[in-house]
Amino acid sequence: MSKLGTKNKPATVRVQTEEKALELLALGKQKGWEVIVGIEPDKSEDISDLEKLMKPSVSKLIPAVISRNAPCPCGSGKQYKRCVENNKTGMKQKAILYSEVIQDFLSPYLNQNNSIEYISSVLYFGCTAWNYCIFEEFGLPGLPKMRIAIADAHKLHPYLAPLFENMKERKKKKFKSYKHVISKNEVRCKPDGTYTIYVEHFPIRNSV
């Protein structure tokens, strides 16, 4: 299977202005990606292929191996064996909680008229900003890559720059005990037409 961003499988995006098209073509050239840009002023923007290419790798991080007697990485203060290990319902609740945290950050930038493409773009940016906060707070080895990912995301979504600053500030003040990296994010459409934000996450430690 061909890799996205190559000649056999170029990244295909749709924008509304020639200025944005030239900006994305320049970004593709800088990164060494094959990019096809279509300009369609009457259609919503779709840059999902570029967002997939920009998603930073977490290959230098591995899921934490947790001792049963160690403090649970969820931040509860309990021993792991007395927290999520023997409490499947608790694990589910914590997974939902991270989705709610991200949604809390993103809600000012969303409304009921947004397309699923736009919501997915905002979610991607929000999760990238969250992971940057985790990398920076704990001095993880992938921090330089995260800085590049944030810079690239700013180029694609300059209107979301306030979200990044807000994320950093609230992470420090309100979510200090949250220590998980978001490894997957998805927008799910319900039968009634409403959307649900879904994220997967895991506790991390520096790889050796």
Mean pLDDT over 153-162 rounds to 78
Query: Exposure string (b/e) for 114-150, b if CB count within 10 Å is 16 or more?
Result: beeebbbbbbbbbbbbbbbbbbeeeebebbebbeebb
Residue 10 has pLDDT above 50, yes or no: yes
More confidently predicted of 163 and 61: 163
Question: Are residues 124 and 166 located together in one domain of the fold?
Answer: yes
Kindly report the number of other CB atoms within 10 A of residue 26's CB atom.
12
Q: How confident is the model at residue 67 (pLDDT cuts 50, 70, 90)?
A: low
Q: What percent of the chain has pLDDT over 90?
A: 11
- 2 inside domain: no
98/191 same-domain check: yes
Residues spanned by the domain of 34: 11-49
- Asked whether the beta carbons of 71 and 81 are under 8 A apart, the reply is no
Is 156 a member of any domain? yes
Residues 81 and 144 in one domain: yes
Domain count, the chain: 2
130 domain-assigned: yes
- Note the pLDDT tens digit of each residue in 100-114: 778 777 777 776 567
Indicate if 31 and 82 belong to the same structural domain. no
In a shared domain, residues 195 and 101: yes
Is residue 164 assigned to a domain? yes
Q: Using an 8 Å Cβ cutoff, are 16 and 39 in contact?
A: yes
Same domain, 142 and 89: yes
Quick check: 167 and 129 in contact, CB under 8 A? yes
Query: Do 126 and 161 lie in a common domain?
Result: yes
Sign of CA dihedral 12, 18, 24, 27: positive
Burial class of residue 92 in the structure, from the number of CB atoms within 10 Å of its CB (0-12 exposed, 13-18 middle, 19+ buried): exposed
* In a shared domain, residues 41 and 89: no
pTM above 0.75, yes or no: no
- Rounded to the nearest integer, the mean pLDDT of the chain is 75
Q: How far apart are CA 130 and CA 105, in angstroms?
A: 10
Q: Are residues 109 and 42 in the same domain?
A: no
Residue-level pLDDT at 17: 93
28 and 104 both lie in a single domain: no
Question: Residue 35: pLDDT above 70?
Answer: yes
Nearest to 146 by CA among 155, 158, 134: 134
Domain match, 44 and 68 both = no
Neighbours of 46 (CB within 10 A): 19
**pLDDT at site 42:** 92
- Give 57's contacts (C-beta < 8 A, 6+ positions apart): 142, 145
